[in-house]
Chain A
Amino acid sequence: MVSCVYVEAAVRDHSRTQKILDRYRQTPVVEIEHHGEVFNPRAQNFRLQKSNPALIISSKHQRRVMSAPEGYGLGGQHNYYFSHMLNCLYDCRYCFLQGMYPSAHQVIFVNYEDFADSITEAVELHAPDPVWFFSGYDCDSLAYEPVTRFAEFFVPFIARTENSWLELRTKSTQIRQLLKIEACQRVVTAFSFTEAYSHAKLEHGVPSIAKRIEAMKALSEAGWPIGLRFDPLVYHDNFTQSFARLIEQIFSSIDASHIHSVSLGTFRLPKDNFRQIQRLYPDEALFAQKLELNNAMMGYPLSQEQTMINDCESLLMKYINPETYFPCEWYE
C-alpha cells in the first residue's frame, strides 16, 4: 500500500499513468512539476519513509540507458543498464539503494517508448554484436509488474529487437506476465537468493525461498532462460551449511542444464553508501560485523571473503556448468 501518489503534471494524462492511478483510487494524488521536488530534498529520512513509501509517477528525459560499470556482465562485450523505477518494493538491509537516494518513495518512469528508442540506438551502435541490457539495478525488475507492466512492454520489445539481450533481476514471484507469452531466449530472468538464515534476518517483505524456487521452476519449464544470483553472501557461523542447503533446495527442483548463468558475490558496499546506511540503521547487526575498507568498498576482510567465495563455488560446481558461472565484479 502506498501512502500517496505524486504525479508529474506532464504525464498526468499519459495512458500508463491513468492505468496506475486506477489502481490507487483511494490514495491521495498530489500533482508535482518534477519528481525531484519530492524525491531529492535532503531533509528526508529514508528509514521512516520506507515503512510507508509514496509512489511518484514521472518520465525520464535523459540518460535513460547507461553503460554498465567495467567488469559487470554475463560474458557479453557491450553492457548497459536502465531503470524504469527508482527504489524497490522490498526492504533488504544489505541493499545499496538505502544509501543511494534521500527518499524511499518509489519512482516509476512511464515513458517506456523513449527507453525503447534509447535501447534501439545502443543496439544499432554495436550491430551486429549482441548487446546486454540489465534492468534490475535501481529496482526489482518484476516485483511491481501488476502496477508498472514493465515486462509486458519490454519483453516483447526485446524479443523483436535483434541482437538485444535483457536481464530481469528479481526477488519476486511475479512471473504471470512472462508465462502468458512465448519464451524468448534473449530474456534471462535472474533470481537473487541469500540463504535461509540471512533471508529471515535481512530480507524484509521478500517472498520465501520456496515460493521463488517455485516461480523459477515454472518459468524454466515454460522454456525461459533462468539466472541465479547469490549476491550478497552474508557471513554467520552456519553460513556454509545454510548455503549448501539453499543450493540443494534449488537444484532438487530446477534442472541445472536449464540455468543460463550463475553469479555470486559477498556483501560489500561503497564506502560512502555504507556510512549513510549505517547512520540510518545504527541498530543493524550486519553493519556491526567485522568489515574492512578495500578499494573504496566496505566488505568482509579479504581472506574471509575469499573463503566464503571458495566454499560457495565448490558447492555450486557440483551442479552447474562452469561456463555459466560469472563471479560478481561489479565494484572491483
Chain B
Amino acid sequence: MLIWIAALHCEAKPVIDFYRLKKSPAHRGFDLYQNDDMCLVVSGIGKTSAAAATAWVAALQSTCASTAWINLGIAGAASHEIGSAFWVSKITCKSTGQNYYPVPTFSIDFNISACTTLDQASNEYQPSTLYEMEASGFFATATRFSSAELIHCLKFVSDNQHQQSRFEKAAISTLINQHMETIDKFAKNLQLLNQQCMNLKIDNTVWQSILEQARFSMTQQAQLKTVLGYLLSQGFDAEALCQQVSQRTSSREILKQLNQIRLDQSRNL
C-alpha cells in the first residue's frame, strides 16, 4: 500500500486525478481518497495535522504487510524557480532542531534539497533549504510504522524571495500537475521497493489457515512464522503445505514436519 499525505486539497488534486482515487464516504477524521493499492489523506496545514493524519491512516491500514509513504506539497525557497520540484534529503524541524533523513535507495529524477519545517508561515528565506510546514511531523510519525527507505517527501516551490505572493488553489494544482509523470515514476519505484518487503511477509489468510490447524503457543507461532516464511519464499504452495500437515493433530507435530521440509530444502543452500 502506498499512502500519500498532502496538507491541502489543491496539492492532492493532481494525484487524485492521475490515479483516479475515489473519496471514501466511510471515513470522517480526514478526507481519504483511495483505489486498490494506494490512498491519499488530506491532512490540513501544519506538522501536528500531518502527524495526526499519518497516524490515523496508519491505523486504518494496519493489516497491510508493508506501507510506503509520500508527503507531497508546496514549499518556499530562496532562489529556486517557482514550480521547480525537489526530493527532500534532510528535514529539520525548526522548533525542536531535530533532523530526519529520508533514505534514497533508487535513482531519483528530482532535484535534491534539505527542507525546514516551520510552525508558522514565514517570508524568511535561506539558500540552503526549502521551507514548509508538514514534513517533520509526517516523517517522525511515519517512521513509527515503516522504515525510512519507504518514507519520502516531494516538495514543489510555490514562492521565493522574488515572488512571495501565495498561489491560487488552481495554480498550486497546476504547479504540481506539471511534474505528475516524474511523481508517478517515483511512486512506481517506491511501490516496487515496498513490494520487496511485502513479498517477505506471510499473507494473513495463509497465516490464519495454518493457525487453524492446531493450538500454537506464542513461542511456537514465532517458530512457525520463521519456517513458513522460508518455505513460502522458496515457492512452496501455501495450500499444499496446509494439506500436507492436515493429518497432524498437534502443533508440535506440524512444526516438526514443516521443519523437516525446511531442512531438506536448505541442505544445499
Contacts and interface: CB of A to CB of B under 8 A. Distances in A.
A278 B269 contact: no
Contacts of A6: 101
Interface in A21-72: 28, 30-33, 37-38, 41, 43-45, 48-49, 51-52, 54
Nearest to A197: B269
B147 A283 contact: no
Contact of B143 (A41, A49, A201, A278): A41
B103 A283 contact: no
Given A33-B99, A51-B105, A283-B200, A43 B146 contact: yes
Contacts, number: 98
A287 B230 CA distance: 9
Contacts of B149: 44-45, 48-49
A286 B266 contact: yes
B197 interface: yes
A293 interface: no
Nearest to A198: B269
Given A3-B104, A41-B148, A44-B149, A282 B143 contact: no
Contact of B229 (A28, A45, A54, A282): A282
What is the interface residue range for chain B against chain A? 20 to 34
B263 interface: yes
B177 to A, nearest CB: 26
Interface in B252-269: 262-263, 265-269
A26 B173 CA distance: 31
Chain B contact residues: helix, strand, loop or mixed: mixed
A30 B89 contact: yes
Given A30-B90, A285-B266, A288-B266, A48 B143 contact: no
Contacts of B147: 43-45, 48
B80 to A, nearest CB: 15
A286 B269 contact: yes
Interface string B126-154: 00000000000000000110111110000
A234 interface: yes
B64 to A, nearest CB: 16
A236 B267 contact: yes
B230 A44 contact: no
Interface in B102-122: 103-106, 112, 114
A285 B235 CA distance: 13
A38 to B, nearest CB: 5
Interface string A152-177: 00000000000000000000000000
Contacts of A52: 104-106
A32 B89 CA distance: 11
Contacts of A37: 99, 101
B220 interface: no
Contacts of B196: 48
A290 interface: yes
A37 B102 CA distance: 11
A287 B200 CA distance: 15
B234 interface: yes
B266 A289 contact: yes
Interface string A178-215: 00000000000000000001100110000000000000
B104 A4 contact: yes
B105 A43 contact: no
A197 B268 CA distance: 9
B259 to A, nearest CB: 9
A237 interface: yes
B193 interface: yes
B264 to A, nearest CB: 10
A283 B234 contact: yes
B197 A48 contact: yes
A49 B229 CA distance: 21
A92 to B, nearest CB: 13
B65 to A, nearest CB: 13
Contacts of A49: 103, 105, 149
12 contacts: A3-B104, A32-B90, A32-B99, A43-B144, A48-B149, A49-B149, A197-B269, A201-B269, A283-B229, A284-B230, A285-B230, A285-B266
The 5 closest A-B pairs by CB, nearest first: A283-B233, A288-B266, A43-B143, A282-B229, A285-B266
Interface of A: 3-4, 6, 28, 30-33, 37-38, 41, 43-45, 48-49, 51-52, 54, 197-198, 201-202, 234, 236-237, 278, 282-290
Given A6-B101, A285-B234, 6 more contacts: A3-B105, A37-B99, A41-B148, A48-B147, A202-B269, A288-B227
